[in-house]
Every structure is written in C-alpha cells, then in structure tokens.
Amino acid sequence: MKFEDYPIAENIKQSLVDLGFKRPTDIQFKAIPSILRGEDVLAIAQTGTGKTAAFAIPVLHLLQERQKEKEAGEIKCLVMLPTRELAIQIAEVFIKLAQHTKLNIVCLHGGVEQAAQIASVANGVDVLIATPGRMFDLVSQKHIKLTKVDILILDEADQMLDMGFYPDIQDVIKFLPKKHQTLFFSATINTYIKDLAYSIVRNAIRIQISPKNPVSKNITHSVAFIEPDDKRAFLERIVTENPESKLLVFVRTKVRAERVSAAMTRVNIQSLTMHGGKEQEDRLKAMTDFKNGTIKMLIATDISARGIDIDNVDYVVNYDLPEVAENYVHRIGRTGRGIQKGFAVSFCSTEEKPILKEIETFLGGQINVLKIDKQAYQDTLDFSEDSESDWRKLLKEQEENEYKKGKKKKKR
C-alpha cells in the first residue's frame, strides 16, 4: 500500500511527496487507519521505525477536517514529550507535514524566555508540542486551555516515566474533556507502562512492532575491550580513519562529555557537546551544526539518546556503556535509520563488563566482539597525537634506551 492510497487530505499527501515518503513503515501501516477512525491507540515500536509520522499524518488530517475558529489559548491536539530536544524534533516533523495546510503548530519547552511562546498560543493552537514543565507554567498563568483538547499524544512514554513525569500525566488528564482520543507511543513495554497506558486509554487498539532483534537490521554493531585511559586514542583513530563520517559519541556524564571533547581538541579534532548542563541556546546550536555537517562529531549524554533524529549519522560510539541496558538500543538507534546503513561500536573497559552482560541479556544475544591483539592495541596508542599518548611513547623510548644501555654495559 502506498501513501497515495490512504483516505487523507490531498495537501497532506503533497507534503508526503515533497518529503519523499512513498510507502508506510510497519508502524505507520498499522497505526494510521486506527487513528483516522478516531480510536485510542497503544503502540510499542523501537526507535527509528517512523512512529512520529505514524501519528502526525492522521492527526493532521483529522484536525484539518474538524478545523474551526479557536478561542484564545485553546488547544486541539496536545503532544507531551520528556525532553526539549524531542519536542523540537517532533515539532519539525509536524511543521513539514503541515506545510500545505493552514494548521498552526507550536512548540513549548523550557530554557528560553516565555514571552514569544505566550504570544504564539494567544489565538489558540491546532497542535501544541510541549514538555510538562513549561506547559504547566502557561496553564497556571492561564495562557493556554486544555479543556477542549480533542487528541492527547504521549510520545516516548517509557522515558517520561523514567524521568518522573507520571504525576504530570495524571494532572493533564484532569484538565481534558471526558471525550478525547488518546495515542500512547512507547519504545518499550513493562508492567508499569502497561498500567499507565490502560488507565488513560479507552478500548485501545494495541499495536506492537517488536522484531526478535530490538536492534535495526540496518545497524552493524560491535564491542571492543578498551581500558578507560585508552578510549580517547581509539576514538581519535575512528575519526581519523573516517574523516567524512558523522559521529555521535555517547558518554555517561556531562563532565565526561566536556573532558572527551577537550581531549579531541588536543588532537585537532573539532567536536561539540550536548548535555543537561548546557544552555538551551547552546544545545540548539550544537544540534544545528551537527545536523548540517559543520561539525562532524557530537558528544552527548543519555538525555539526548532519544532526542537526536538526524539523517546520515554514520557511526554511533558508546564511549561509555549506558547504565540502563535498554538505553543501548536507543543510543545506537540514532544510526541506520529508515533505509540508511549505520555502524555502532561500544568501548567496554574491564569494570564495565557486568554492564555489557546486562545489555546482552536485554538483547537476547551476544554483541560481536572486535578482537584487538596486543600489538594493534599498542599501535593505536602510539598512533594518537594526544599529549598523554606522547608521554606513553616517551616512556617506551626511555625503556628501550635503558635496555640498550644495559646491553652495552654487559658487553664491556
């Protein structure tokens, strides 16, 4: 089935043509008809399967069919997301799909001044994409009304629960009219998520796209056993051997992100960092520069694992293994998206081996090991231009000189 065969408005079909959308992905094929019928949907699908378009396409069609004058601050569709980056990226998808319509799309998130956001919702909004904090700020200030929301969408619901937004979701439900459509999208499902989902949906259509391997078949992923102090040399080598490739590097903390970036600067490799400690303006600039290829390496923490939807990320590098096993899938899912091929490599130190076991248990199988013999390992350290590697090289040369001196003394 092609998109042109769906009973959706011609101007939305034109946007799909403009964006190069021809045939629906599995999640789109299964979700769009149910959403068009006005049914509640509980959808579980791994990252990179096209689930944003799976709800955006039919929702825009429904809103356009029902379009009428909106009151000040009135919202017709509310999309709730856990992070700023996700909100921005989902808004971009909605805006592109709605480009030939008269629907207005507004994105609300923290980290920026309220004034412009307040002005953008003053005359009512067709689709409001928001993080909970800023949205509730504007609700409490009576700039937006949730009492006439027709459609509620919770995206990345599992991450919202992990970040403690369950009370916020319950509070939103209290504002909404009794009769509304709920679309619940999540990358994973467990008892907690299931309980939340069934507490807010009515006779929901359950859709689960769960291949045996949770990692996309487009991704070649592997692990290399590398000790902490040596990781920077191996990262440098990947960059040097793939100068045109776009790399997304994940680390465990914001401090680590800045340290790894500084190490790359020392060897003349440009990079940008993105983490919760940076100002929103800096985070947006980092995303923009990485997206357009101005900078080829972005170093991020897990807060960004699901907020980066950028075409043509060639490599994902897990500089540190994620502490939560399922985040491994979210991280490496930033490459190999759609029909693109991608590569992911994880650096695993001795102390991280228990985490690796947890990840493999979650995946249901072992990750391919990149075997590095002692000589190749040492060659990589010597290859690095980093000052620490220079120090190692000097030590090695000193040892060799001492050895040669010792041999000469024995000959005498």
pLDDT digit string (tens) for 164-207?
788 888 888 888 998 999 999 887 777 777 887 888 888 888 88
Which residue from 160, 148, 147, 157 is spatially nearest to 198, judged by alpha carbons? 157
Kindly state the DSSP code that residue 367 receives in the 8-state scheme.
P
Residue 90 near residue 155 (C-beta atoms within 8 A): yes
Structure tokens at 48: 């990179």
pTM of the complete model: 0.71
pLDDT given at position 315: 95
Rounded average pLDDT over 101-121? 90
pLDDT band per the 50, 70, 90 thresholds, residue 398: low
Rounded average pLDDT over 220-227? 95
- Judged by average pLDDT, the poorest of 90-104, 231-245, 290-304 is 290-304
Q: Is the pLDDT of residue 395 over 50?
A: no
Average pLDDT, the chain: 86
pLDDT given at position 180: 93
Rounded average pLDDT over 285-304? 87
Structure tokens at 234: 């191996």
pLDDT band per the 50, 70, 90 thresholds, residue 17: very high
Residue 261 near residue 239 (C-beta atoms within 8 A): no
Q: Is the pLDDT of residue 305 over 90?
A: no
Which residue from 61, 114, 56 is spatially nearest to 90, judged by alpha carbons? 56
Structure tokens at 203: 């006779």
Q: What distance in Å separates the CA atoms of residue 212 and residue 220, rounded to the nearest whole number?
A: 16
b/e 36-73 (16+ beta carbons within 10 angstroms → b): beebbbbbbbbbbbbbbbbbbbbbbbbbbeeeeebeeb
Handedness of CA 276, 219, 352, 238 (dihedral sign): negative
pLDDT given at position 283: 80
pLDDT given at position 392: 47
Which residue carries 């947006």 as its tokens? Answer: 284
Structure tokens at 340: 């693109």
pLDDT band per the 50, 70, 90 thresholds, residue 407: low
Rounded average pLDDT over 42-58? 86
Task: List, in order of start, the domains of the chain with CATH numbers.
Answer: 3-209 (3.40.50.300), 219-392 (3.40.50.300)
Structure tokens at 313: 């990320």
pLDDT given at position 402: 59
